[in-house]
Structure 1
Amino acid sequence: MISAPEGRIIFEHEREDLAKIVKVIMERDDTNIAGGNFSFKVTGDDGKDYIIMTPTMMSQAYLGELSPSQILVVEPHTRKIIAGEGELTREINMHEAVYDANPDIRAVLHSHAKNSMFWATSGLNEPNVTEATQKLGPIETLDFEPNCSEPLAELVASHVAEIGDAALMHMYLLNSHGVLITVGQKDKVMDGLSAIHQALAIVDTTEWNAEIAYKQAIFQKLGLLDGFYSKGDRIGDLEDLMNNRPVYNRGTVAVGD
């Protein structure tokens, strides 16, 4: 049985941090009132893994203002709520499917980020053009499956399993639904709290990338650019975009990125 110091709540620091992340993501327009759902894995003093996760309706019911005690502590697979207020999101199935597909993944962030949603609803892959997002590689839009459905969870899990270690820092676009970010480290070296902070950085920087890629596409139609550019290199064009060929900078990622 996991425990906490007398008078304190279990995983207090981790739950406090996730509550802050919810507020930051709302303030930065990295999601909308429909919210999304964020989770990361922790290991208790009993040696078992648990999922720290936002409750359903975190934006509509709680207006994005959550206390640490409202953040859920969930037992994987049984989906038993060990601690926390509110109900478990139906998209727990997608989070569990991702963690099962690659056990080295320590955080999953699903949001409805405004600019990335443009690319997700178009069905096109998002060109990856900025230096800050280069390490993500290609940003792919998956086929449409209904939100909260088992087919969506299965689709995401199959892609995560297919790309292997690349899933330890990756972002997919869920067609008409939003973004899905997975973060971890080989052999589970990275702790879940660090992983969810990395996921926050990814959703924030990819929002800038999504807008810039859109503007580069417009400039091509206006004849002001002859392709998508990243770090001074031409990395693709509208024809690549229309034919679902990944558009991203394949060069070496700079030290410190």
Structure 2
Amino acid sequence: MADGRILFERERQDMAKIVQLIFERKNTNVAGGNFSFKTIDENGKEYIIMTPTMMSQAYLGQISPSQVLVVEPHTRKVIAGEGGLTREINMHEAVYDANPEIRAVLHAHAPNSMFWATSGLDMPNLTEATQKVEYIEVLEFEPNCSEELAAIVSNHIKTMERKELPHEFLLDSHGVLITTGGATGLEAIHSALAILDTVEWNADIAYKQTVFQKLGILDGYYSKGVKVGTVEDLMNHVPIYNQLVETTPGD
């Protein structure tokens, strides 16, 4: 701390606000979630800005900037911050190592997305605002915080066909994982927050279109005015997102 300011003050203030917003929007629950982004100091050394463990269960999403952690990558040394380091640092590090372009990782227990994650089904991606993440697929189950889960996520990122960011994955029975890039870690974590929010809307819409198909009201999934798949495609893990109408940036 110098002149009354904490290390990476702006970044940690931003992260504390993001935690509060996600909790207030009910995009995670008291079982938690964890968020991080990369930053560098004036000497070019890289650090991870990360939420502390128990941020939801113990603090109900109300954390101070001083509780947000500054972590040295791979050594997992906490350089600054009053909170404890989450065990899922292993998954965050594995993600960053798998693709150096990733600058933010957001894992949350968003309820509508969790429905798709627990079903073992990929999420149909139907809304215009979510087309940039394309195929929202569910990964194999491994227990939370385990090295096996970190390995599944890492290997998938390394071997997946589409390398362009952003991505959103469903972690079977565990929630969502969003990976984003950007000029800075702050830009990347803001992008991840927007994706979390918009995909939650999409998750609910995809569920309702599924019900309408089973009721015979719809004959498939519709996005941007065209049919992009069916329930049969869903059952067979065929990617369902709009590949026919070009995606336009922004609103």
TM-score bracket relative to the smaller structure? over 0.9
User: Do 1:34 and 1:60's aligned partners in 2 also have CA atoms closer than 8 Å?
Assistant: yes
2 CA distance for matches of 1:16 and 1:5? Answer: 16
2:214 paired residue among 221, 232, 235: 221
Structure 1 gap segments, 5+ residues each: none
2 CA distance for matches of 1:165 and 1:184? Answer: 14
User: Do 1:129 and 1:228's aligned partners in 2 also have CA atoms closer than 8 Å?
Assistant: yes
The offset of 1:168, in angstroms, is 2.1
User: Do 1:143 and 1:175's aligned partners in 2 also have CA atoms closer than 8 Å?
Assistant: yes
What TM-score results when the alignment is normalised by the length of structure 2?
0.97
2 CA distance for matches of 1:47 and 1:235? Answer: 45
User: Do 1:41 and 1:50's aligned partners in 2 also have CA atoms closer than 8 Å?
Assistant: yes
| Cross-structure match for 1:132 | 129
1 CA distance for matches of 2:190 and 2:214? Answer: 37
2 CA distance for matches of 1:80 and 1:73? Answer: 8
- State the Cα RMSD in Å: 1.1
* Mapped pair 1:20 → 2:17: yes
* Mapped pair 1:101 → 2:98: yes
The offset of 1:160, in angstroms, is 1.1
1:152-183 Cα offsets, whole Å, 9 max, x none, are: 00110111112376352000000000000000
* Mapped pair 1:234 → 2:227: yes
User: Do 1:167 and 1:182's aligned partners in 2 also have CA atoms closer than 8 Å?
Assistant: no
2 CA distance for matches of 1:167 and 1:18? Answer: 25
1:151 paired residue among 148, 154, 178: 148
User: Do 2:133 and 2:165's aligned partners in 1 also have CA atoms closer than 8 Å?
Assistant: no
Structure 2 gap segments, 5+ residues each: none
1:214-250 Cα offsets, whole Å, 9 max, x none, are: 0000000000000000000000000000011111101
| Cross-structure match for 2:187 | 194
User: Do 2:50 and 2:69's aligned partners in 1 also have CA atoms closer than 8 Å?
Assistant: yes
User: Do 2:103 and 2:181's aligned partners in 1 also have CA atoms closer than 8 Å?
Assistant: yes
The offset of 1:71, in angstroms, is 0.1
Aligned amino acid, residue 231 of structure 1: K
2 CA distance for matches of 1:163 and 1:48? Answer: 29
Aligned ranges for residues 245-256 of structure 1 at < 5 Å? 245-250=238-243, 251-256=245-250
Greater shift, 93-102 or 158-167, is seen at 158-167
1:57-97 Cα offsets, whole Å, 9 max, x none, are: 00111111010000000000000000001210000000000
| Cross-structure match for 1:69 | 66
Greater shift, 164-173 or 239-248, is seen at 164-173
| SS of 1:180 mapped into structure 2 | strand
User: Do 1:109 and 1:199's aligned partners in 2 also have CA atoms closer than 8 Å?
Assistant: yes
2 CA distance for matches of 1:55 and 1:256? Answer: 32
**1:173–1:36 Cα change, 3 Å:** same
The offset of 1:135, in angstroms, is 0.9
User: Do 1:56 and 1:88's aligned partners in 2 also have CA atoms closer than 8 Å?
Assistant: yes
| SS of 2:163 mapped into structure 1 | helix
2 CA distance for matches of 1:165 and 1:55? Answer: 31
* Mapped pair 1:29 → 2:41: no
2:204 paired residue among 208, 211, 219: 211
User: Do 2:23 and 2:60's aligned partners in 1 also have CA atoms closer than 8 Å?
Assistant: no
